[in-house]
Structure 1
Amino acid sequence: MSDTRPGADELRMRAILKTRGVGPDAPPAIPPMPRQRPRDWFDDLAEYNAPTPAAPAPPRRVTKADPEPEPQQQREPRDWTWLTAWLRPWQTLTAGAVAVLPAFNGWSLATGWANALHDMRIDHLAGAYTTAGVALVATFSLDLRRGRFVTRVALVTAAIGATGALDWFDPITLVTGVTR
Structure 2
Amino acid sequence: MGETTPGADELRMRAILKKRGVGPAAGPVEDWWEPKGTPPAEEPDEEERPAPFTPQPDYWPRPHVPEVLTRPGVRMQAAIAPGTRRLLYNASAAAAGWGLGLYQQFAHAIADCGQQTSIGGAIVLGVGATILIAHVWDRRTRHWWPGNAWVARIPLATAILAVALWAPAAP
Short-chain TM bin: 0.3 to 0.5
**TM-score, structure 1 as length reference:** 0.37
**TM-score, structure 2 as length reference:** 0.39
Q: Rg: which structure is higher?
A: 2
